[in-house]
Amino acid sequence: MPDKKDKHKRLRPHVPASTHRAAWCWLIMLPGWLLPLDSALAAIPAEWKNTAYAYEAQHKPVREVLEDFAQTFGTQLQVEGLLEGNVNGKIRANTPQSLLDRLGVEHRFQWYMYNNTLYISTLDQQESARLEVSSETIADLKQALTDIGLLDSRFGWGELPEDGVVLVSGPKVYIEQIKRFSSQRRSADEKQSVLSYPLKFASAADRQMEYRNEKITIPGVATMLRGLLEPRSTSTSSAQAQRSITQPAFITPVVPRLSNPLLGQMLGSTATTGLNGSTDTGMSITPRAPVSPARIRVEADLRNNAILIYDVPERQAMYRELITQLDVARKLVEIDAIILDIERTQLREFGVRWGFQNSRFSGAANMISGNAQLTIENRGRFDAEIRALEAKGLATMVSNPSVLTLENQPAVIDFNRTQYLTRGRQNATILPITVGTSFQVVPRVITSRGGHQIQLLVDIEDGNFEEANPTPGSFDVRRGKVSTQAIMAEKRSLVVGGFHVTESTDKHSKVPLLGDIPLLGKALFSSTERQNNRRERLFILTPRVIGDQADPSRYLPQADQVELQAALTPLARRSDPHQPVIKRSDIISTLAHLVTGQVPKAFKVAPMPLGLNTLCSTRSLLALNTERSQWYAGPQYNVAVVVLRNQFNRNVRIDEKECSTSQTLAVSVWPRAWLKPGEEAEVFIAMRPVVKDEHISVPRPSLITPTQKAKP
């Protein structure tokens, strides 16, 4: 029997000497790359592809051969199943994987490498599995498994994208590893679906405004949410943050950072990376059901003014809370504007008189400096002063527009004139040039101590075309711009000046009759004087808070609000949610039967329980017959019938308000509402049952009148 030392020899190539030396040279270098590695290795190490391998054994169990193989290459060995058989003789292979393939065929096992571990699995450990994952993540899952070196092309992989199913076959331990790395498909209530959120006050879609051939976009709620969910690059965010001439910065949408909490929750991670590369770990979010922002879709429903979000229902509460914070009633602000041209000499006297004598202007001494901001406290007196100057021809009110807007929303008023400049001869280009008077105002209401202060962000542009133009085919344009902001009390005015206007007028004067003589009259008896008036253009802006979106009745003056509230109160009582629902059609049918002289089966004739004066409060024109009345009691409501007579000498109309109380449901008149003098009509009053107050049980005697039973 040969010596045990010669039983087997590893890595002994049976090839020429050069190959033998190369193999042993590779063994010398082997300890350098067999150092422990923490990261996942590829399915087959790259060094195996250029290394020959030989093994010699005499009736050695295949498991021990595999252990020697793993020890030689510094890998761990994990065997699943019972390996049978022995290895006898010399085995040669060009690569280590070829040797494993040969042994696998002879001894009926499968193998694969993952994370520096050689997995051996017998054929009885082979199985197939159906993995349910999200349909959108199948491709990402396959790529991720390939990148970490787990997915092996020798084993089965099938995809059913429409069903969100992956079919996998291979060793049992291989299937279990894929299951651990693949996210399980969500249950029925966790799948992505369309969530709808109707809005009351905010706008779901964007608002487009035309201004000087440019479009100003005011983002809606859908755009805001889309901006939170969609990642943006640094260049995109910086470009949108710049302020443009046609779109002021205060209406430019704010570009959110990538590290916002909402995006972090969308990604299902505990930390997100900001635009500057920093990591935001301010939120602790469990990574359950992570969904890429590309999978979340946000759209605006214009017909219903609603937000549609395609996402998992588990985030519905988060979306609802965010949208509730955005969909709030905002205050309505009316901005009254006066564009006034006033002579500069009068403007000085005007400013000095108001600024120093009456202390009505703050900063009146700077009124001629070209960029003045004044606050008027006594608006009525100021208007009277303007009308007096206008009557003397010293001032002209160019325009007095008024606009209503929401707070934090721009209001644009534009009076412009457009001329077209032609460039070129053969290929002519028409260039529109627009000038005129325009201003954009964004009001912001500041509530403090029960009162309102209003901050105005104002951009004003004023310009016109110069009349004297020495170059034919072209024209000169004069423009002036002011951009400012101010905070003032409600119903006070902001005056912005600094725009100069020059007017040239020719004043003709002549002697009556003599000035009409041809030639001589014009030369001797008439004269022409040119007057150049330099005026200052003032913009007087007066904001006023008139209510909010939740209560439109605040549009009305205070006196009208009281009358409106009195009219709405009975209607609110009729639609009391605690009262039983009574169909309108049932009341119409009941009254129609009573008019024709028929009593419905559900109603019974009963004595009148109420005083007739409590049913109808008539005017002196109509008389209520207290001797004739009827009462029909029903299961849900009652019907009273009374008679009204016209005691006036002209036609009188019966108004339903005269027979309407808090319990009244409907009022009908037969045969007609217009009564001739002395004519009578029946009035049918449908009423809810009179509910007796349970808190009143003992009558209270009066202290000034004898005790008696009060009639209802």
* Closest of 181, 145, 63 to residue 111, by C-alpha: 63
What pLDDT was estimated at residue 367? 39
Percent of the chain with pLDDT over 70: 68
Instruction: Please report the sign of the dihedral spanned by the C-alpha atoms of residue 693, residue 695, residue 698, residue 699.
Output: negative
CB 462 within 8 A of CB 499: yes
pLDDT over threshold 70, residue 596? yes
Opening angle at CA 691, ends 689 and 696, nearest 5: 160
| Residue 32 confidence (pLDDT) | 34
- As given in the structure block, the two tokens for residue 333 are 């602000």
Mean pLDDT of 456-468: 81
- Determine the pLDDT at residue 605: 92
Give whole-number Cα distances, 72 to 8, 25, 117, 432, in Å.
14, 14, 13, 83
Cα dihedral 612→617→619→623 (10° resolution) = -10
Kindly indicate the confidence band of residue 181, based on its pLDDT and cuts at 50, 70 and 90: confident
Q: Are strands 297-301 and 306-311 parallel, antiparallel or unpaired?
A: antiparallel
Integer Cα distance of 621 and 11 in angstroms: 126
Tens of pLDDT, residues 391-401: 887 888 888 88
Give the integer Cα–Cα distance in Å for 216 and 209: 5
Distance CA 183, CA 174 (A): 16
For the beta carbon of residue 37, count every other beta carbon within 10 angstroms.
11
Instruction: Return the residue matching tokens 């295949």.
Output: 62
CA distance 401 to 542: 11
Grouping H, G, I as helix, E, B as strand and the rest as coil, residue 136 is: helix
> How confident is the model at residue 353, as a pLDDT?
57
Cα separation values, 89 from 7, 17, 96, 170, Å: 10, 21, 17, 30
Residue 418, both tokens: 């457009």
CA angle 403, 408, 412 (to 5 degrees): 35
Global pTM value = 0.49
Q: Chain centroid to CA 624: how far? A: 59
pLDDT 10s digits, 96-135: 888 888 888 888 898 988 888 889 999 888 889 888 877 6
Stretch among 9-13, 402-406, 454-458 having the lowest mean pLDDT:
9-13
Higher pLDDT among residues 272 and 354, named by residue: 354
68-77: pLDDT as tens digits: 888 888 888 9
- What does the domain layout of the chain look like in residue ranges? 4-123, 193-328, 333-467+475-547, 584-687
**What are 418-447's pLDDT values in tens digits?**
878 777 666 767 777 788 888 889 999 988
Is a pLDDT exceeding 80 seen at residue 360? no
pLDDT at residue 17, as a whole number = 35
Range list of β-strands (E), 373-492: 373-376, 395-399, 402-406, 411-423, 429-448, 451-465, 477-489
The answer to whether residues 661 and 571 touch, using CB atoms and an 8 Å cutoff, is: no
Give kind and range of the element (H or E) at residue 633: strand 622-633
What confidence category does residue 473 fall into, taking pLDDT thresholds of 50, 70 and 90?
A: low
| Other CB atoms within 10 Å distance of the CB of residue 150 | 20
Mean pLDDT over 607-619 rounds to 82
CA 400 to chain centre: 34
C-alpha torsion 291→294→297→299, nearest 10: 150
**Are 119 and 154 a contacting pair, CB within 8 Å?**
no
According to DSSP H, which parts of 353-404 are helical? 379-391
- Kindly tell me if the per-residue pLDDT of 387 is higher than 90: no
For residues 410 and 451, which has the higher predicted lDDT (pLDDT)? Answer: 410
Please check whether residue 548 is in contact with residue 445, taking contact to mean a CB–CB distance below 8 angstroms: no
**CB under 8 Å to 98, separation ≥6 — which residues?**
53
Provide the greatest CA pair distance for the chain: 157
The pLDDT score that the predictor gives to residue 674 is: 92
The Cα angle at residue 17 between residues 13 and 20, in degrees rounded to 5: 35
Identify whether the C-beta of residue 294 lies closer than 8 Å to the C-beta of residue 225: no
Q: Which long-range contacts (CB under 8 A, 24 or more apart) does 569-574 make?
A: 570/660, 570/661, 570/662, 570/664, 573/662, 573/663, 574/664, 574/665
Looking at residue 685, its pLDDT comes to 93
Using DSSP's 3-state secondary structure scheme, residue 222 falls into helix
Chain centroid offset of residue 267 CA: 21
Spatial separation of the C-alpha atoms in residues 249 and 216, rounded to whole Å: 11
Q: What is the rounded CA–CA span in Å between residue 699 and residue 125?
A: 93
Q: Which residue has the tokens 């592809």?
A: 49
Q: CA 241 from chain center: how many Å?
A: 19
What would the mean pLDDT of 54-58 be, rounded to a whole number?
84
pLDDT digits (tens, 9 = 90+) for 206-245: 988 877 777 888 899 999 898 888 765 444 444 444 433 3
Could you write out the three-class secondary structure of 574-611? HCCCCCCCCCHHHHHHHHHHHHCCCCCCCCEECCCCCC
pLDDT tens readout for residues 662-695: 788 899 999 999 999 999 999 999 998 866 555 5
| Chain mean pLDDT for the chain | 74
Q: What is the pLDDT of residue 621?
A: 83
pLDDT value for 244: 38
pLDDT of residue 228: 84
The 10s digit of each residue's pLDDT in 362-382 is 433 333 344 444 556 666 777
Tell me: pLDDT of 65 over 70. Answer: yes
261, 318 Cβ separation under 8 angstroms: no
Residue with tokens 């009124």: 367
- Report percent pLDDT > 90 for the chain: 11
For 514, the 3-state DSSP assignment is helix
At residue 331's C-alpha, the angle toward residues 329 and 335, to 5°, is 150
The DSSP H or E segment spanning 612 is helix 612-615
> Is-contact 397 338, C-beta < 8 A?
yes
**Given this model, what pLDDT does residue 483 score?**
86
As a whole number of angstroms, the distance between CA 174 and CA 118 comes to 12
Fold of 4-123: Phage tail protein beta-alpha-beta fold (3.55.50)
Q: Has residue 530 got a pLDDT over 90?
A: no
The pLDDT value recorded for residue 537 is 82
Mean pLDDT within 252-259: 36
Higher pLDDT residue, 248 or 399?
399
d(CA 21, CA 28): 11
